[in-house]
Structure 1
Amino acid sequence: MNQIWFSIYLSFKIAFISTLLVIFIGFWVSWILVRKDFMGKKLIEVLVNLPLLVPPSVLGYYLLLIFGREGLIGYGLEKYLGIRLVFHWTGGIVAAVMVSLPLYINAVRPALATLEQEVEQAAKVDGATDFQVFYKIILPLISKSLIAGIALTFARSLGEFGATLMLIGNIPGKTQTMSLAIYQAVLSGEYGIANQLVFILTFFAILIMLFIGKIDTKFE
């Protein structure tokens, strides 16, 4: 496969998988932060938003410490499960999840906080199950924020660079995403390749912003 096409394929693959993970992880974390009170809640809130504040290279370094071959989690993954994340494209999923998770949570959490729990309780009194309350009441009421969060997550994952470079490197045909390919093309003076990939990423960024704007108008 041509290296340019591979970088496009890998970028979308990582963005798609990481977005699915963020949807489930982010909703669970958002729900806990809104509905539960517990010791250490403020610390979790800080950790959730930390990727928005620290440089991507710093975040990537933390990920190396955690998921590297001698890391707290990486050692066990490689020794017992044979899973290696460093210098492997799967590590790009971890990086994408970490950088996009705050965007999803910050989109969904305020919507969950505005829900009136009395409505949910009334539905349960009328015989609705927890699943029915979730599917027929909660999801419709927060659907706008969910869709916006998903769109932002996909866009951020698609263009991730710094943390990805630190964790999986820039290996053409193996770990090189579009952002990494742009970086390599500029260093090599191959501006034609850089222009093509920049256009693709910019096009999808604009498309997603227009989509979010349409969702905002539709739900007004």
Structure 2
Amino acid sequence: MSTVWSWEAVGFPVTLSLQIACLSSVIVFMLATLAALWMNRVHFPGQIVVETLFMLPLVLPPSVVGLILLTILGRRSWIGQFAEWLTHQPIVFSVTGAVIAAVVVAFPLVYQALKTGFALVNREVLESARSQGANELQLLWFMVFPLAWRSLVTGFVLGFARALGEFGATLMVAGNIPGKTQTLPTAIYFAVDAGNMQLAWSMTIITVLISFVLLLATSKIRGSD
């Protein structure tokens, strides 16, 4: 049985989970920002269908999301084959696969937070700035982002927290390879499955503490003046 506080048993899953959460939250934040700005400013037939697709990972079982990603990114798909030719390693059962899974499942939360924040920006203020000669980039950087900063920070934190806790899709796409793709959620699951409750509880406490701090920070941001 693994030593509770060995690097392989605890340190690696914690470090890898934080790395995946950091990288995926940055990626999903950028994607969600572009999507939210686009959906707030452009109206087209079928828009509600597109938005429903954006939100779909939020309600689908993680195993379904994982199966879809596995089919799209697997070694038999053209995307998987191209990525393997480019990087000389498959996407599945890799850290890259874990990052992609985290991005997909976190996207709806971040998108919804940002879209709501952008929608609350006063349109009359923006039109006034346009009449004074401000271009779209200036409006975005100096008005929209500052006015919606709480939603931006909240979205980023929620994306980080969701990526940190991702389990089902990650397990199917990246697997649970100790020392390679084992994250905190998968490590906890397999520790319980192996009957190593001391190891499982030690990692659970770490996860709860990190999540508590993230949610507390989000609450502070939402409640600040």
TM range (shorter): over 0.9
Q: Deviations over 1:60-114 (max 9, x none)?
A: 0000011111124222222345352101111100000001010001111112122
Q: Deviations over 1:135-159 (max 9, x none)?
A: 2211111111111111111011011
Partner of 1:7: 13
Q: Quick check: 1:64–1:71 contact (8 Å CA) kept in 2?
A: no
TM-score for both structures, normalised by structure 2? 0.92
Residue type at the aligned position of 1:5:
G
Unpaired runs of 5+ residues, structure 1, are: none
Question: How far is the alpha carbon of 1:29 from its aligned partner?
Answer: 0.7
CA RMSD of superposed structures (Å): 1.5
Task: State the alpha-carbon separation in 2 of the partners of residues 59 and 77 from structure 1.
Answer: 20
Q: Does 1:132 align with 2:133?
A: no
Partner of 2:39: 33
Give aligned pairs, total: 219
Partner of 1:45: 51
Distance 1:33 1:130, change over 3 A: closer
Q: Does 1:97 align with 2:133?
A: no
Q: Does 1:111 align with 2:117?
A: yes
Secondary structure of the corresponding residue to residue 182 of structure 2: coil
TM-score for both structures, normalised by structure 1? 0.94
Question: How far is the alpha carbon of 1:115 from its aligned partner?
Answer: 2.2
Following TM superposition, the consecutive aligned residue runs of length 4 or more in structure 1 with deviations greater than 3 angstroms are: 80-83
Identity %: 38
Alignment equivalent of 1:183, drawn from 178, 184, 189: 189
Distance 1:161 1:135, change over 3 A: same
Task: State the alpha-carbon separation in 2 of the partners of residues 85 and 44 from structure 1.
Answer: 26
Task: State the alpha-carbon separation in 1 of the partners of residues 146 and 129 from structure 2.
Answer: 15
Unpaired runs of 5+ residues, structure 2, are: 1-5
Question: How far is the alpha carbon of 1:123 from its aligned partner?
Answer: 1.3
